[in-house]
């Protein structure tokens, strides 16, 4: 949803969300302007949550995932908050008693004493964490939230089925009709569907592997006159109470209370974010069930499964160095968790079967028992049959069976309508990864709608490429003026940047592009980039350099532009160009592979479009650099080639590509590359960037040593680069990569040395003077007689 706030309101909102640290979190400040300040809020996304976790991990001595999760839950999670009434003293309060009671039970099971250190977060960040972790379903009909459903394929789906008639979650004011699409608070956007972040972190914070507490111990044996003694002896385990079993048990018991036999009452409907997924703030549900929204939503199911899978891996000693942010980044990506590559969100439905389902079902039943003490109608009913535990047990099991079957049937027959299956790879396909510097050229083509789509997909792309501190970088260049909109940088919170960029109106208007001016701007930027890169003799690698150009329909002054492009590629052969537009025709000569490097952003969702771009970008090679080859640097005349070492990092079973440009070996008689460290395999080609298996010149070595003779014949223009494919071993290892350059803790560090690179730079790398003279004469003759 887009809510326009006047400048004064925006300023007041900003002041309200910034301020001094308070020992006790003041949630009222977060609701001071209700939903009027949505543009000021941080996004409800996995990327934002991970960035805030990284901030806490980097600022303090908090390293254990459970400790960080506990501190955040302890300070910020307040379940059951809904909008009460425009005439109430405080509009937003914990009004849903079922949710409040469930939170109280967890506090009885888990002693939370971890705290968030002072001044860890700004006020705006504190409110964002609170919104992401605090779960509730708000039935109040807030205006402006239904429009996303009007043209949705899910709109009014199966409305022929009559909604249940019974008492609701909580009372609305008289004469107020419930929202047709209620807000589900505490839900974050992830690439694998909506997730209730509070449930996710609650499961991760519980490391208690004991059998938990008896119901009698939980209630301290007080006010249990209604409960049979055998029931009081049942044990509730904290991990299961905090996750899936607790949610299923709650849903089963409440469903039994309202006496609705439809399975819909046990598992909630689909939902959508009430605005762009590039800047998600509020999640709304498909139906309201006449106030009977189930106490088990899909976001809670996903979170419950996810937390159990993540916690299972975290509790293994081999993963005791894994941080919470690392675990979430890996689980919600193609990588999966260390030593458990099948444990990832896109595969959660299959991985769920590896859990102890019998234990989860048993704990759901025991949770129904303990939760019964919070519901007066159930207590009264049990009081009548207190001496017949078997009768009570059968009634509870019957109620649980409906809820349990609803969940297991949902998991077993999931239609992948909310997220995609994990991608499958054939023998000819590989899992590629790299670190990239993405320079996006912002276009002004197609009007406001097209520019909105452009900002949306760029917001997603930054997260998909894992832009962050010590990882990939992102910059945005104006397509008309060639001035920086956002200079190239490692955004510490690319999700928040993307949300703000998506909702910005500053770059929503205008038309046209100036490709010649942009080309000059790119030349100036990369000249400075390479000068800086070559200024350190120890540099051997750099991120892949990619220009993503949101281009006009055709290339103006095509001959002049083509010459500029040819000159650019000669100077900077490592820079790759990708184009986004409407018509590829005049761009064919500007790309390495026109079939793969031109994209059209029409007819598909911008998340899917961003994934398509990210897949291609991950295949592009990172840089190999040799500062001794800098023709403008006389500082490296005594560089010893044997001391120049390329260091890289690769995830097990993934492949990264490296390009060695011909200017590094144009005068070489023999070139040798050797892997000196790391459990990796290496292959090479001079005709295939991805070193495909069917290319004739593919070269691999069992000894991790590759050798070439007479590569260039002196001519850089007609000399092919060397492309390397380095693949990490799929052998499981307990090694933990601690270098700051590691993108993931299970990455393999590898090193390569080279021999024979002669490029005509400083004296230490240059060929003899007579050879240079001959080369110069040959070049002159070649120009006169092409």
In contact, 109 and 218? CB cutoff 8 Å:
yes
Q: 325 Cβ partners below 8 Å, 6+ apart?
A: 50, 53, 54, 57
What does the block give as tokens for 69?
């999760």
pLDDT band at 666 (very low <50, low <70, confident <90, very high): confident
Of 409, 405, 315, 337, which is closest to residue 746 (Cα–Cα)?
Answer: 337
State the CB neighbour count (10 A cutoff) for residue 780: 10
Question: At which of 361, 377, 412 does a domain end?
Answer: 412
Residues 509, 546: one domain?
yes
What does the block give as tokens for 357?
């389902």
Domain presence at residue 14: yes
Confidence check: pLDDT of 168 > 80: no
In contact, 82 and 91? CB cutoff 8 Å:
no
What does the block give as tokens for 622?
């990172």
Domain presence at residue 714: yes
Read off the pLDDT of residues 428-442 as tens digits, 9 standing for 90 and up: 668 899 999 999 999
Domain presence at residue 744: yes
Residues 607, 663: one domain?
no
Q: Which contacts of 426-432 are long-range, i.e. CB under 8 A and separated by 24 or more positions?
A: 427/693, 428/692, 428/693, 428/694, 430/654, 430/655, 430/690, 430/725, 430/727, 431/334, 431/651, 431/653, 431/654, 431/655, 432/615, 432/618, 432/619, 432/654, 432/655, 432/656, 432/657, 432/690
Q: Hey, which bits of 268-408 come out as E strands?
A: 271-273, 283-285
Domain presence at residue 626: no
Q: 610 Cβ partners below 8 Å, 6+ apart?
A: 457, 458, 460, 461, 464
Domain that holds residue 114: 7-154+168-412
The whole-number pLDDT of residue 779 equals 42
Residues 222, 344: one domain?
yes
**Percent share of the chain, pLDDT over 70:** 85
In contact, 457 and 613? CB cutoff 8 Å:
yes
The whole-number pLDDT of residue 585 equals 82
Residues 685, 600: one domain?
no
Domain presence at residue 348: yes
Of 41, 44, 51, 52, which is closest to residue 16 (Cα–Cα)?
Answer: 41
Domain presence at residue 259: yes
Query: The CATH number of the domain where 722 resides is what?
Result: 2.60.120.380
Q: How far apart are CA 473 and CA 29, in angstroms?
A: 34
Residues 318, 456: one domain?
no
- Report how far apart, in Å, the C-alpha atoms of 35 and of each of 41, 92, 99, 291, 743 are: 10, 11, 22, 21, 37
What does the block give as tokens for 569?
């590629």
Residues 386, 503: one domain?
no
Of 642, 673, 677, which is closest to residue 658 (Cα–Cα)?
Answer: 673
Residues 137, 264: one domain?
yes
Tokens 């942009």 sit at which residue?
Answer: 518
Read off the pLDDT of residues 624-658 as tens digits, 9 standing for 90 and up: 998 877 655 555 554 678 889 999 999 999 999 99
Global pTM? 0.89
Confidence check: pLDDT of 106 > 80: yes
pLDDT band at 583 (very low <50, low <70, confident <90, very high): confident
Domain presence at residue 689: yes
What does the block give as tokens for 471?
């990882």
The whole-number pLDDT of residue 428 equals 61
Residues 730, 607: one domain?
no
Residues 361, 462: one domain?
no
Residues 406, 526: one domain?
no
- Tell me the three state secondary structure of residue 650: strand
Domain presence at residue 786: no
pLDDT band at 3 (very low <50, low <70, confident <90, very high): very low
- Tell me the three state secondary structure of residue 302: helix
Query: The CATH number of the domain where 608 resides is what?
Result: 3.40.50.410
The whole-number pLDDT of residue 589 equals 83
Question: At which of 615, 630, 655 does a domain end?
Answer: 615
Q: What is the dihedral of CA 327, 330, 333, 334, to 10 degrees?
A: -140
Residues 215, 284: one domain?
yes
Split into its structural domains, the chain has a count of 3
Confidence check: pLDDT of 109 > 50: yes
Q: How far apart are CA 571 and CA 589, in angstroms?
A: 17
Residues 458, 381: one domain?
no
pLDDT band at 49 (very low <50, low <70, confident <90, very high): very high
């Amino acid at each position: 949803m887009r809510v326009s706030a006047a400048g004064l309101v925006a300023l007041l909102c900003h002041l309200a969300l910034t301020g001094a640290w308070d020992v006790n979190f003041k949630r009222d400040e977060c609701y001071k302007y209700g939903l009027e300040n949505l543009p000021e809020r941080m996004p409800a996304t996995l990327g934002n949550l991970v960035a805030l976790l990284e901030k806490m991990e980097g600022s303090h001595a908090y390293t254990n995932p459970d400790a960080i999760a506990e501190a955040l839950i302890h300070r910020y999670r307040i379940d059951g908050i809904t909008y009460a009434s425009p005439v109430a003293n405080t509009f937003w309060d914990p009004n849903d008693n079922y949710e409040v009671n469930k939170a109280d039970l967890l506090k009885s099971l888990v002693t939370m004493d971890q705290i968030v250190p002072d001044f860890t977060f700004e006020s705006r960040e504190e409110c964002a964490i609170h919104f992401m972790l605090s779960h509730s379903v708000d039935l109040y009909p807030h205006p402006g939230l239904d429009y996303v459903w009007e043209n949705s394929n899910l709109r009014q789906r199966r409305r022929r089925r009559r909604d249940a008639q019974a008492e609701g979650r909580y009372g609305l004011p008289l004469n107020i009709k419930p929202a047709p699409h209620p807000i589900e608070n505490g839900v974050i956007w992830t690439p694998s569907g909506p997730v209730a972040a509070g449930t996710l972190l609650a499961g991760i914070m519980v490391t208690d592997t004991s059998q938990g507490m008896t119901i009698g111990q939980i209630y301290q044996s007080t006010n249990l006159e209604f409960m049979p003694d055998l029931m009081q002896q049942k044990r509730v385990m904290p991990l299961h109470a905090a996750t899936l079993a607790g949610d299923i048990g709650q849903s089963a018991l409440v469903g039994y209370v309202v006496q609705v036999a439809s399975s819909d009452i046990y598992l909630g409907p689909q939902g959508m974010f009430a605005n762009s997924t590039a800047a998600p703030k509020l999640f709304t549900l498909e139906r309201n069930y006449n106030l009977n929204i189930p106490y088990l939503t899909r976001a809670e199911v996903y979170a419950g499964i996810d937390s159990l899978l993540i916690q299972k891996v975290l509790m293994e000693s081999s993963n005791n160095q894994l941080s919470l942010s690392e675990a979430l980044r890996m689980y919600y990506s193609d990588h999966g968790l260390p030593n458990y590559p099948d444990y990832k969100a896109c595969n959660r439905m299959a991985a769920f079967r590896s859990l102890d389902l019998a234990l989860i079902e048993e704990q759901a039943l025991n949770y129904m028992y303990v939760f019964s003490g919070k519901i007066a109608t159930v207590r009264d009913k049990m009081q009548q049959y207190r001496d017949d535990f078997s009768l009570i047990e059968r009634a509870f099991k019957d109620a649980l069976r409906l809820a349990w079957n609803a969940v297991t049937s949902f998991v077993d027959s999931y239609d992948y309508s909310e997220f995609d299956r994990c991608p499958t790879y054939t023998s000819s396909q590989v899992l590629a990864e790299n670190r990239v510097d993405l320079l996006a050229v912002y276009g002004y083509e197609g009007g406001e709608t097209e520019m909105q789509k452009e900002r949306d997909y760029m917001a997603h792309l930054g997260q998909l490429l894992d832009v962050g501190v010590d990882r990939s970088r992102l910059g945005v260049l104006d397509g008309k003026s060639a001035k920086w909109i956002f200079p190239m940088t490692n955004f510490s919170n690319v999700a928040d940047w993307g949300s703000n960029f998506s909702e910005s109106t500053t770059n929503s208007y205008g038309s046209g592009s100036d490709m010649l001016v942009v080309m000059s701007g790119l030349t100036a930027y990369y000249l400075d980039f390479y000068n800086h890169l070559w200024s350190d003799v120890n540099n051997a690698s750099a991120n892949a350099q990619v220009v993503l150009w949101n281009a006009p329909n055709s290339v103006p002054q095509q001959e002049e532009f083509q010459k500029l492009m040819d000159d650019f590629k000669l100077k900077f052969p490592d820079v790759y160009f990708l184009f986004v537009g409407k018509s590829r025709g005049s761009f064919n000569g500007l790309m390495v592979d026109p079939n793969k490097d031109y994209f059209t952003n029409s007819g598909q969702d911008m998340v899917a479009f961003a994934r398509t771009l990210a897949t291609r970008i991950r295949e592009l090679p990172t840089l190999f650099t040799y500062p001794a080859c800098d023709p403008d640097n006389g500082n490296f005349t005594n560089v010893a080639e044997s001391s120049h070492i390329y260091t890289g990092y690769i995830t097990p079973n993934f492949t990264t590509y490296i390009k060695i440009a011909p200017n590094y070996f144009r005068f070489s008689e023999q070139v040798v590359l050797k892997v000196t460290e790391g459990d990796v395999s290496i292959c090479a080609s001079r005709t295939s960037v991805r070193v495909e298996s069917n290319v004739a010149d593919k070269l691999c070595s069992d000894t991790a040593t590759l050798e070439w003779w007479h590569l260039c014949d002196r001519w850089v223009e007609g000399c092919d680069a060397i492309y390397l494919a380095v693949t990490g071993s799929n052998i499981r290892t307990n090694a933990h990569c601690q270098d700051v350059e590691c993108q993931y803790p299970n990455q393999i560090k590898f090193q390569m040395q080279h021999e024979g690179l002669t490029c005509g730079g400083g004296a230490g790398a240059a060929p003899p003077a007579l050879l240079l003279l001959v080369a110069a004469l040959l070049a002159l003759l070649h120009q006169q007689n092409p």
